[in-house]
A and B are shown apart, each in its own frame.
Chain A
Amino acid sequence: MAREMWKGNEAIAEAAVRAGLEAYFGYPITPQNEVLEYLSHRMPELGRAFVQAESEPAVINMVYGAACTGARVMTSSSSPGISLMQEGLSYIAGTEVPMVLVNVMRGGPGLGNIAPSQGDYNQICKGGGHGDYHPIVLAPASIQEAVDLMPVAFELAHKYLNICTILIDGSIGQMMEPIQLPEMQPVVRKEYGWAVSGAKGRERHILTSIYLDVPTEEKTNLRLLGRWREAQANEIRYKEYFLDDAEYVVIGFGTAGRIALSAVRAARAQGHKVGLFRPISVNPFPYKRVEELCKQAKSFLVVEMNTGQMLKDVQAAVRNRIPMRFYGRLGGVMPFPDEFIQEIQEMIKNPGKPDDDPADLWYQRMMAR
């Protein structure tokens, strides 16, 4: 199939359609509107369900209902809208039904702005809603990668009966890139042993997240944890660049990781032994691989478009074995490769000590600007 120019949001929408999306529910919010707009004609054209709901709480509860039928269901939104969905996301996690969520992150907190940001990492990866649950989160760095991860997201959601989030930012949603779309997959509605569809010829199914009997709720939490541990063991995804002989490793996800690749290439051209580690599954996070990289690296540079939210996960893997540096831009500011190149050069010049607090040192540098 030929490569075509597609806008990120529309490509994601079409990729979801081709992955067998049966129902989409959404609400307008910038910078993800094109997902909603695209699917408003594409879904009815294919005889599939589309509703523009009255609010994000309504959206996520429509998703919840559709997910209870076992259908491939998705919604998309951007940061403030995702906050409004947290109640429903917790119920979906607690009921153990599958869904795909696309978060096209923007600057925050509050109303913030509509510029690209990675400020929702903690909210998305660490749960966001109430209770003990662990959503699967994939963070592509290009439109092609997002398109390729779409069928994966549905498969993971259904395999682990969990929320699978595609975490991107406004830049990936809004830009255009040449991509190759996958072939159209047929919609296959499996007969799940848990889904509601009317109890014709079988025992009835009840889907709920209420367990007033406390030991049963504990058992439910353990069941969720068991499935999560399986995902941790089997669903680690990342991409490595120039790591074979790298003495210095830059770590970044999504757009920050993509910008870092330009910086790493430039630093290589200058003769520095620098590589890039880009987590794709940011939850489950590739702790083990990061830990292994400590053995070969003299120092890590973590780059993000937030105040160091993924940094905490990297630190949990590094455990002060090697010095680390952090560089973040906030509130919708996109870093330039030059800024990362400078950070790489500084790191090589002065790697610091393993006990240094990289977030603190970064903050001091930001304030001294």
Chain B
Amino acid sequence: MAVTIVNPQNLVYARPKGFTDTPTHYCPGCTHGTAHRLVAEVLEEMNILDRTIGVAPVGCAVFAYNYIDVDFVEAAHGRAPAMATGIKRVLPDRVVFSYQGDGDLASIGMAETVHAAARGENITIIFINNAIYGMTGGQMAPTTLPGMKTTSSPNGRDVETQGYPIRVSEMLATLDGAGYIVRRSLHDPKNIRLAKKAIRTAFETQVHGLGFSMVELLSTCNTGWGVTPVESLTWLEEHMIPAFPLGDYKIAPAVAALKF
């Protein structure tokens, strides 16, 4: 006999329909799980789970398809925006999104990202910026902060020889094809709520055919950063936000006018 633990009228939090029952492989404290959940919630709320196709990256989120319960393909490193383009052009009435980290999107896949935005490709990118290569063990990323220690910048990123971090949202916002480009953060509940709203707007941008949409999410990698989960949230707030200011970098007038 089924036991009702929570009466439906009292239920305020449950596993979203867009989530599978598979426990994630992410390190405890990592914000990937939060980002995944926000995507799953938005797809469920928009009632588009059964017409959405996800494109997983190479990086920690390589197995995103194990958790977000929609049709999925697994791209080569950095090529997710191209793969998403191929799917979207053949199936223009479906919702196509990629989920990519900073190494995938801003290093090896920068060309694919910039050109998808320039074409105004009607796809959505969820961009996880945690300033490090997580899966391969904490190497320097294109978003690693100056002076930040990684396994391939052990003395701290030296901008003289290793260059400067790339602010992707600011860069893509210069492109006419971009409909919605914002940066949010996952370090506290308030910002997580704002992030969810942005993800919703990004998918609405796509559903309404208003061009390329990307939500950059400042995220933690406590393992790669070598700090505790709680410390990582503080570190994000204190160090990453000044380097990558939160904000709306491009909201096309038609997107601003959307009601949902």
Contact = CB atoms under 8 A, between A and B. Distances in A.
Interface of A: 22-23, 25, 49, 51, 53-55, 57-59, 61-69, 71, 73, 87-88, 91, 95, 196-201, 204-210
Contact of A201 (B50, B65, B79): B50
B73 A58 contact: no
B239 interface: no
B62 interface: yes
A22 B92 CA distance: 13
Contacts of B185: none
Interface in B74-110: 74-76, 79, 82-91, 94-95
B115 A73 contact: no
B86 A64 contact: yes
B112 interface: yes
6 contacts: A57-B112, A62-B89, A64-B83, A68-B87, A199-B71, A206-B73
Contacts of B83: 61-62, 64-65, 68
Given A69-B90, A200-B50, 11 more contacts: A22-B90, A23-B86, A54-B112, A57-B82, A59-B82, A68-B73, A69-B91, A87-B76, A198-B51, A204-B70, A206-B73
Nearest to A52: B119
Interface of B: 49-53, 55-56, 62, 65, 69-76, 79, 82-91, 94-95, 111-112, 114-115, 119
Contacts of A49: 89-90
B82 A53 contact: yes
Contact of B73 (A51, A63, A88, A207): A207
Contacts of A23: 86, 89-90
A206 to B, nearest CB: 5
Contacts of B62: 210
A206 B76 CA distance: 15
Nearest to B20: A204
Contacts of B53: 196-198
Contacts of A71: 90
B111 A55 contact: yes
Nearest to A64: B83
Nearest to B108: A57
A26 to B, nearest CB: 12
A51 B119 CA distance: 10
Contacts of A208: 56, 65, 72-74
A71 B92 CA distance: 13
A64 B76 CA distance: 10
A62 B86 CA distance: 4
Q: Which of B53, B115, B119 is most buried by chain A, counting CB atoms within 10 A of its CB?
A: B53
Given A55-B111, A196-B53, A197-B53, A206 B90 contact: no
Contact of A67 (B65, B69, B76, B86): B86
B76 A61 contact: yes
